[in-house]
Amino acid sequence: MIKMSRKQSKLELVALTLYDKPFSFSWSYVMRQSLVMGNWKMNGSRSDGLALANAIAAGLNDGDQGIAVCVPYVYLSDVHDVIKNTPLVLGGQNVADQESGAYTGEISGAMLKECGCTYALVGHSERRSYYGDTDESVATRFCQAQKQNIIPVLCVGETLEERESDKTFAVIDRQLNAVIDMAGINAIAESVIAYEPVWAIGTGKTATDDQAQEVHKYIREQIAAKSQAVAEKVQILYGGSVKPENAKAIFAKPDIDGGLIGGASLDAASFLAIYQAI
Ligand code: PGA
């Protein structure tokens, strides 16, 4: 397999067929759009968010693609007003596992859509560990997002303890299969996966590019075992202390299609530098 990449897209040569005739050959390749997504978490005020969104948008050119920010719910509409005519795209940080009704505190996929969202994170490790989002509820949230034409960004990843006891792949299997079992393999093609080792989130500790690639490759292989076409199409992002200094090496890996950026996405210059590293 020969890999070629250029800014904003990952071009992967998957088959090169040589025929008998000299100088005659055909090749088929898949193009995966790269994606750099910021996750603001529960940070900043309304005016901070608007200033940040404006500054990011101001640093983009008309043809730019594959850049998004996941914003606190209460600022989604305001941020959408600022970015709607720019290449910057909007996402929510979670989505309800129900369509509508008596679910106090939850935000539905339809509500996110109304606020201008294209994406919603599901199963972020902070949701799983602090707020009890289970594999099953994450799978239901994933399905609810797709039902409302929101692209779910399924976050998976192991804790330090799980890595140290060689359970990384088992954890990934469990988290991924919960969604595949409920939504079906073809639904994965219409989603984004984010591999975020929990020990690297907000800790300043980044997985090495080889450690990240190993897990990304594993995820793609598990999907390929069920559908080669889905595996070739799905974007798999890396998240966990990505910064301008380490982004280039991480994004250069063949199975890493971009990043989910927490801390460094709160500063427009850093976030844009990470986007430029693709
Ligand atoms: P971080 O967060 O970049 O601050 O490590 C990543 C995330 O939680 O998505």
Ligand 1 center to residue 35 CA distance, Å?
A: 15
Is 218 in a helix, a strand, or coil?
Answer: helix
Measured in whole angstroms, the distance separating CA 245 from the mean position of its chain's CA atoms is 20
10 — pLDDT class (breaks 50, 70, 90): low
pLDDT for 12 equals 53
Provide, rounded to the nearest whole percent, the portion of the chain with pLDDT above 90. Answer: 86
Return the number of other C-beta atoms located less than 10 Å from residue 74's C-beta.
11
Q: Which atom of ligand 1 is nearest to the CA of 203?
A: 5
Give the atom of ligand 1 at the shortest distance from the alpha carbon of 155.
9
The CA distances from residue 164 to 71, 108, 159, 167, 233, in Å, are 33, 37, 9, 7, 31
Round the average pLDDT of the chain to a whole number and report it.
91
Length of the chain in residues, anyone? 278
Match 């844009």 to its residue by tokens: 272
- Our mutation pick for probing the ligand 1 site, out of 121, 130, 193, 196, counting the most ligand atoms within 8 A of Cβ, is 196
Residues 6 or more apart from 173 whose CB is under 8 A from it? 222
> In ligand 1, which atom is closest to the CA atom of 240?
5
- Tell me: the pLDDT tens digits for 150-188? 999 999 999 999 999 999 999 999 999 999 999 999 999
The pLDDT tens digits of the residues spanning 113-155 come to 999 999 999 999 999 999 999 999 999 999 999 999 999 999 9
Ordered structural domains, the chain, with CATH: 34-276 (3.20.20.70)
Q: Which has the closest alpha carbon to 187: 256, 233, 127?
A: 233
- Measure the CA–CA gap between 25 and 63, rounded to whole angstroms: 32
Contacts with 141 (C-beta within 8 Å, 6 or more apart), sequence order = 94, 95, 96, 97, 120, 122, 123, 133, 152
Question: Looking at per-residue confidence, does 174 or 17 come out higher?
Answer: 174
156 — phi, psi (to 5°)? -135, 155
Q: How many angstroms does the Cα of residue 202 sit away from the middle of ligand 1?
A: 5
